[in-house]
Structure 1
Amino acid sequence: MLTKRENLLETIRGGKPDRFVNQYEAFDIIREDPYTLKYPDPNPGELDVKTGWGVTKTWPRDLPGAFPIHDEAHIVCKDIAAWKDYVKAPPAVYPEEAWEAAVRHAESVDRKEKFAMAFIAPGVFEQCHYLLEIQNCMMAFYEEPEAMHELIDYITDWEIQYAEQICKYMKPDGLFHHDDWGSQISTFISPEMFGEFYLPAYKKIYSCYRENGVELIVHHSDSYAATLVPYMIDMGIDIWQGVMTSNNIPELIQKYGPQISFMGGIDSASIDHPGWTKEEVRREVQRACRECGKLYFIPGASQGLPLSTFEGVYEATSEEIDAVSREMF
């Protein structure tokens, strides 16, 4: 029997997996890095938590994640043309002792069994609209493109500095990076605009991780982003996690399978809700696995961590993936 890590590699390389990769089973996600410890995201039910970038986030209970507050009092960057007056990056370099918890976690990972995964959230696009507010951010691409390029470069430079620290101390062999690039039915910006503004940033960031020993790059975007897959391949993503059913996943696998793999296929909203049932979970898992097949596909809910909004949903999904593996392999 293959280890969880071996089975994942067989799946994404078009080899001979002996079962479906079961959601996040091959990832040990490390979240004890100094930035995360100093500026933790809110937990469910926690309100008004400030990030290192000055963004105020809140997580009302029974919602799927934390979101920034964007009333006039809380928008960080009130004028993109003057972004340097508003946006101040947190430290990207920390003393060695600040990395001790992350190093202990990384060293505890059995790397024959799992990948030791660094974790970054939010990504470059999300950081932009966290700072600006989403509508202001969308308009700024048209009205102040030069300033947007400058802000993206500023965020990217911070990410690269921090990536170098992560790789120096934690020595991860995987990266799990968040950045939602669309709604359920469309990307937030056109593919052409994405290529202009964000492709160069991500090529720099993911190249930095590759050059520092990271073998596996997983990017989370629980959205429609099918039109961005060529850019994902170009920037070096191995697995797009969070891929929703609106993307026509079987078609993407057929077209791009050898170059990138797809993790998801089960929209969280379809199973992770009040009154969820095991029958719903079973139906969605069976559909996803039979539609998408054994290679270049990892079944799981679209949510961007190994958890669920409502208790028991994640575990029930894992049980059903194991069951369909026994049927199909």
Structure 2
Amino acid sequence: MSKFMEVAANRDYSKEWQAPGSFPWIFQRPKEPIAGRPIRVKDNYTRCAKGEQPYWMPAYFYESNIVWPDAMEEHPVPEVDGYDWWGVNWMMVESAGGMITKPETRTIADFSNWKAELEWPDLSRVDFKTDGQKIQNMLDPDRPHIYECVEGVFERLHELIPFGESLMAFYEEPELLEEFFQKMADYKIESTKKVFENYGRVDGVLYHDDWGTQRAGFFSNEMFREQIMPATKRFLDYVKSQGKFIELHSCGKNIQYIPMMLEMGIDMWTPQLFINEPDFLHTTYGKDMTFTFPLMIAPDWNEDQIRQAVRDFVDHFGENGRVMCWIMVENFDQKLEAIAQDELYHYSLKYYNKLYDRK
């Protein structure tokens, strides 16, 4: 067992480990219950994710609980400069609000040697049960519980070795690369099963794997289908077999991959802001996939302006019942956000009652 895995295996997971103010810590915080809705918030959220005629348009993030285990050390725990259980060296970039692998970090000398050199996490040594009990106590039972499954099969590859070498493996070692991705799919299935078994009810999985730049995807469609899709689909097939919906987090202008996303069973994509055109996505794929689009609230708007912007958003994107609204307020003004949330619920409830002929 590696020294990094040994650290993970010997943590006291009855304690909270994440750094206050970090993304995992924020996701783990308890949320106030949402009362007075015609159906449970989790049921409505799932309806929207699956395209099953929601009662109102969900307010993204506000209406969900994220299951982010401390015991899943895909990043350093706590999330500050340090190593994960693969031995990858991470560093916090405050300006980006997140972590990146330290430049030129590597855990193996060369990709061609991964079978001999790479030490895989031994999940049997980790106390998921205690961590799961702790995390469950912070989850609102009325909200959907969504497992944040970070570091997908491609992301993990370029975290183990430099990014350029990862891309070269697609050309130089395609068969070995397929073996790596398939073994990584085995690991993702095993680790996700631990979450399903130990963290209470899980309604959906938010799968992370960044596939593109601000201009286009990293891979041709043919390369994606041949080398990214098989292992990814096998993991996602497992998630679907357990009755969960699938949301994709994939940064980059990745519109070109949507037909394959649909083939893989992905229900929902939250596209990277400002580079993936919401109107095109809604018009072209809005009946087949759920999207989260941003609604930007200016800090100087009055209440009437906020409520009108929300109504315009619902009118523009509501017709398929497959859009969630990500309310974004400069300076994180909670009063302005609360006004937008109130209008989103009440206006979209009327909108969908009329659209679906509900009394």
TM score, norm. by length of structure 1: 0.79
Partner in structure 1 of residue 211 of structure 2: 181
Q: Shift in Å at residue 56 of structure 1?
A: 0.8
Q: State the alpha-carbon separation in 2 of the partners of residues 315 and 220 from structure 1.
A: 28
Partner in structure 1 of residue 192 of structure 2: 163
The reply on whether 1:300 has 2:326 as its aligned counterpart is yes
Q: How many residues align?
A: 307
Q: Any conservation in 2 of the 1:278–1:316 contact (CA below 8 Å)? A: no
Shift in CA distance, 170/192, structure 1 to aligned 2, threshold 3 Å: same
Q: State the alpha-carbon separation in 2 of the partners of residues 139 and 285 from structure 1.
A: 46
In the alignment, which of 109, 115, 118 is matched to residue 87 of structure 1? Answer: 118
Q: Any conservation in 1 of the 2:50–2:267 contact (CA below 8 Å)? A: no
Q: State the alpha-carbon separation in 1 of the partners of residues 251 and 311 from structure 2.
A: 20
Q: Any conservation in 1 of the 2:206–2:248 contact (CA below 8 Å)? A: yes
Shift in CA distance, 98/14, structure 1 to aligned 2, threshold 3 Å: closer
Q: For 1:115-134, what aligned pairs fall within 5 Å after superposition?
A: 115-134=144-163
Q: Any conservation in 1 of the 2:133–2:198 contact (CA below 8 Å)? A: yes
Q: For 1:97-108, what aligned pairs fall within 5 Å after superposition?
A: 97-106=127-136
In the alignment, which of 316, 320, 324 is matched to residue 340 of structure 2? Answer: 320
For residues 107-154 of structure 1, give each alpha carbon's deviation from its aligned partner in whole angstroms, at most 9, with x where no partner exists: 76454x222222221111111111122122112211221222222122
Q: State the alpha-carbon separation in 2 of the partners of residues 238 and 317 from structure 1.
A: 27
The reply on whether 1:20 has 2:46 as its aligned counterpart is no
CA RMSD after TM alignment = 3.4
Q: Any conservation in 2 of the 1:217–1:237 contact (CA below 8 Å)? A: yes
Matching residue's letter, 1:179: D
Q: State the alpha-carbon separation in 2 of the partners of residues 326 and 122 from structure 1.
A: 37
Q: Any conservation in 1 of the 2:292–2:324 contact (CA below 8 Å)? A: yes
Q: Shift in Å at residue 311 of structure 1?
A: 5.7
For residues 202-251 of structure 1, give each alpha carbon's deviation from its aligned partner in whole angstroms, at most 9, with x where no partner exists: 2211222233x342211211321111112211222111123434333333
Q: State the alpha-carbon separation in 2 of the partners of residues 157 and 254 from structure 1.
A: 36
Shift in CA distance, 284/81, structure 1 to aligned 2, threshold 3 Å: farther
Matching residue's letter, 1:128: L
TM score, norm. by length of structure 2: 0.73
The reply on whether 1:150 has 2:170 as its aligned counterpart is no
Partner in structure 2 of residue 203 of structure 1: 233
Q: Shift in Å at residue 67 of structure 1?
A: 0.4
Q: State the alpha-carbon separation in 1 of the partners of residues 216 and 334 from structure 2.
A: 26
2:271 counterpart SS class:
strand
Q: State the alpha-carbon separation in 1 of the partners of residues 75 and 251 from structure 2.
A: 27
For residues 19-53 of structure 1, give each alpha carbon's deviation from its aligned partner in whole angstroms, at most 9, with x where no partner exists: 321111342112235224994262xxx3x311111
Shift in CA distance, 77/107, structure 1 to aligned 2, threshold 3 Å: same
State, as a whole percentage, how many aligned pairs show the same letter. Answer: 22
Shift in CA distance, 246/61, structure 1 to aligned 2, threshold 3 Å: closer
Matching residue's letter, 2:173: E
Q: State the alpha-carbon separation in 1 of the partners of residues 335 and 272 from structure 2.
A: 20
Compare 228-237 and 246-255 and name the one that shifted more: 246-255
Q: State the alpha-carbon separation in 2 of the partners of residues 152 and 69 from structure 1.
A: 23
Q: State the alpha-carbon separation in 2 of the partners of residues 138 and 162 from structure 1.
A: 26
The reply on whether 1:230 has 2:295 as its aligned counterpart is no
Partner in structure 1 of residue 244 of structure 2: 215
Partner in structure 1 of residue 170 of structure 2: 141
Q: Shift in Å at residue 77 of structure 1?
A: 3.1
The reply on whether 1:62 has 2:95 as its aligned counterpart is yes
Matching residue's letter, 2:276: N
Q: Shift in Å at residue 8 of structure 1?
A: 1.9
Structure 2: which 5+ residue stretches go unaligned? 1-37, 352-359
Compare 222-231 and 166-175 and name the one that shifted more: 166-175
Q: For 1:244-263, what aligned pairs fall within 5 Å after superposition?
A: 244-263=273-292
Q: State the alpha-carbon separation in 2 of the partners of residues 175 and 261 from structure 1.
A: 14
Matching residue's letter, 1:199: M
Partner in structure 1 of residue 12 of structure 2: none
